[in-house]
Amino acid sequence: MTFEDILLLFVVLVVVDCVYVGKMVNKRVAERFPDSTDGGFKLGWYAASRTLQMRRVRVPKPQVERGESEQAGAGADVDDLAAGRFPLEEPLRER
């Protein structure tokens, strides 16, 4: 295999991965938000483009830490999480 063959294989794998990610995101959005009109190519394209970006240079910045559940979200206090309270379920409060 030449370098060009390996490069072409890599590009094909990236495209296949992007299609897979787009389909999975659309499927999960349809399951979680059945009344949503979002979806299709636009949402799949956004999800695929976000997966191709390095995490530190993404704009807007990721709001959930790597490995953190999406319920915890950004700015969750460790004490709140340990007590089973998630900031997204409580009214906003001053910190």
**Each residue's pLDDT tens digit, 61-70:** 777 777 776 6
pLDDT number for residue 23: 92
Q: What is the DSSP track for 23-58? A: HHHHHHHHHH-TT----HHHHHHHHHHHHHS-GGG-
Per residue in 4-43, pLDDT (tens digit) is: 999 999 999 999 999 999 999 999 888 888 888 877 888 8
Where is pLDDT greater, at 85 or 15? 15
Q: Token pair 């990236």 is at which residue?
A: 14
Query: pTM of the entire structure?
Result: 0.60
Structure tokens at 34: 């059945």
